[in-house]
Chains A and B, each alone.
Chain A
């Protein structure tokens, strides 16, 4: 009984931090969800594990930096970044992934790993090792309960949720969305129905890339933009995709928030770099006991 009182006291004393970390966790979770959705979509539709996804995130952030410096407008930077990186993604898919269709899945892991190395080093070369900064579009804080919390972070969460919702609606109701879902379920019959599956693959890869880029720009003001920023994110995104269920959009969103919250709470007591151990443990437990995903109903 005493132990419980201690826990309660500790919680109460740290109440402020816990509230802030909860909100932080949700914010980070939404960005992670944006990155992971793209990854799980790509995996679901073409069985490709995109190792370069973190680098698309990083490229998005850098394009954001450049366009912001050139135009001074954060929102222009966001849009240009998304479009540019989506295009880069499409080109990459056509040149390096299309030739690998039908081969051992190992080859796509290797090819995307190669791409990630090239992109990382390209960024290192062009931008140097010093981190750049993206200025947030508006500063200012507002009162959350009785604490001060930056507006911008809430905007990030809101925008991410909006983008993901847009993606969901697109998949659910538009013709192309039906094509994408049909291709994910049965690639062969989708072709037999006249759906141009190779183009659908390219489009999905481009969409995933664009989403990663958006995350990069949105998240940019919170951390420095540098060539290695993709590495941490790709690891977390993989954990999320596995825990949420490969190819399961709803699952990866839930998993993103879950894991980000856990890490946010964990970083109250340990350093952020050690917080990844928390997510790793979750991953391992999931793989041991519920390998299809924590948020997926157990297959009957």
Chain B
């Protein structure tokens, strides 16, 4: 068997095993952890969309919170405006919302490089934040919007309410399909061009590729999947709030990317899991330390302090992320 087809066999076996685990998980886990796992998948999807830009084209965007938020609010709009709320309409509206923003951002992406692009996307996220925050009549302002969860199925033919298990499977299906689609795209000739843009933009342009068009498509792709994550989040949590549009959320997403491994597509999901796991861990550890060692102030310690320090340490010492590190370790 040739090495590449053996490699493929190993890969798909691994993929199947992980999928199996994720499918069985909600059946054996308690409710809290079930939701936790679903959340990891949703944030993972968001981080994966960001990886397209950071890992494959080489553009850091702090604007993903805008795509995510618009997806969320788009879904909210669909759910609130139709009765009974339609799942597919929610997805459609959410994607449309984030696509619109993505187009806007994409236009600028072709004109700005590196740091200017990062700062501009950050500003955009903030503009949307301010608009959503202050346009209270439409967006609910500071309090956001809450709504019910649409039913799974095709309206008029068959619908059933989501249980947390079926919701998990739905999210898993969406995320898995997204991953496969994105993987296919990044391994296609299109994806190769993106990577060569990251390596050396001038040379790619000199060879004759319309770099601007590739960048625009990359941003649109990234924005769409980020919006999809927003839709899923809206469905799971049944509310939309401006907090998710604030640029700090984009920053956290970039943290997932770095922790997991930039440019690996799967890495960001691992990174999301790692970050959220650390969050849970420290949120429980601190109160325990406080009560065991009688240090009451530690109980309130924000988890972001140790997690932030771990992040900084990873940027310095493990810039390839967990996945990159694992890959090197396995190759030894």
Contacts and interface: CB of A to CB of B under 8 A. Distances in A.
B67 to A, nearest CB: 18
B120 A49 contact: no
A98 B124 CA distance: 31
A280 B126 contact: yes
Contacts of B254: 110, 113
A107 B313 CA distance: 11
B311 A291 contact: no
B120 A284 contact: yes
A111 B315 CA distance: 7
Question: How many of chain B's residues touch chain A, expressed as a range?
Answer: 35 or more
Interface string A68-109: 000000000000000000000000000010011001011101
A274 B133 CA distance: 9
Interface stretch (A17-25, A114-122, A164-172, A196-204): A114-122
B316 A121 contact: no
B134 A109 contact: no
Given A106-B60, A115-B312, A287 B111 contact: yes
A107 B315 contact: yes
A163 interface: no
B111 A110 contact: no
Contacts of A291: 111-112, 116
Contacts of B304: 117-118, 120-121
Counting chain A CB atoms within 10 Å of each CB, the highest count among B122, B133, B316 belongs to B316
A107 B319 contact: yes
Contact of B123 (A109, A273, A280): A280
B25 interface: no
A121 B254 CA distance: 18
A125 B123 contact: no
Contacts of B248: 117, 231
B305 interface: yes
What's the dominant secondary structure at chain B's contact region? Answer: helix
Given A114-B311, A273-B134, A121 B60 contact: no
Contacts of A118: 304-305, 308-309, 312
Contact of B308 (A49, A121, A125, A284): A121
Counting chain B CB atoms within 10 Å of each CB, the highest count among A113, A125, A274 belongs to A113
A276 to B, nearest CB: 6
B242 to A, nearest CB: 11
B301 interface: yes
A276 B126 contact: yes
A109 B118 contact: yes
A38 to B, nearest CB: 17
B115 interface: yes
B251 A105 contact: no
Question: How many of chain A's residues touch chain B, expressed as a range?
Answer: 35 or more
A192 interface: no
B312 A114 contact: yes
Contact of A274 (B111, B134, B311, B312): B134
A287 B120 contact: yes
Interface string B307-329: 01101100110010000000000
B240 to A, nearest CB: 19
B116 A287 contact: yes
A288 B111 contact: yes
A276 B315 contact: no
Contact of A242 (B116, B126, B127): B116
A274 B130 contact: yes
A238 interface: yes
A95 to B, nearest CB: 9
Nearest to A228: B248
Nearest to B302: A121
A235 B122 contact: yes
Contacts of B255: 110, 114
Contacts of B126: 235, 276, 280
Counting chain B CB atoms within 10 Å of each CB, the highest count among A96, A99, A114 belongs to A114
Contact of A109 (B115, B120, B297): B115
Given A118-B305, A274-B134, A111 B312 contact: yes
Nearest to A120: B304
Given A100-B316, A107-B315, A117-B308, A271 B134 contact: yes
12 contacts: A96-B312, A103-B319, A105-B115, A106-B60, A117-B311, A118-B312, A125-B302, A231-B248, A238-B122, A239-B119, A287-B111, A291-B111
The 10 A-B residue pairs with the shortest CB-CB distance in the complex, in nearest-first order? A118-B308, A121-B302, A114-B312, A121-B304, A117-B308, A114-B311, A280-B123, A110-B315, A99-B316, A111-B315
Given A117-B248, A121-B305, 19 more contacts: A103-B319, A106-B60, A111-B315, A114-B309, A114-B312, A114-B315, A117-B251, A117-B308, A121-B304, A122-B305, A125-B301, A242-B116, A274-B130, A276-B126, A277-B130, A284-B108, A287-B108, A291-B112, A291-B116
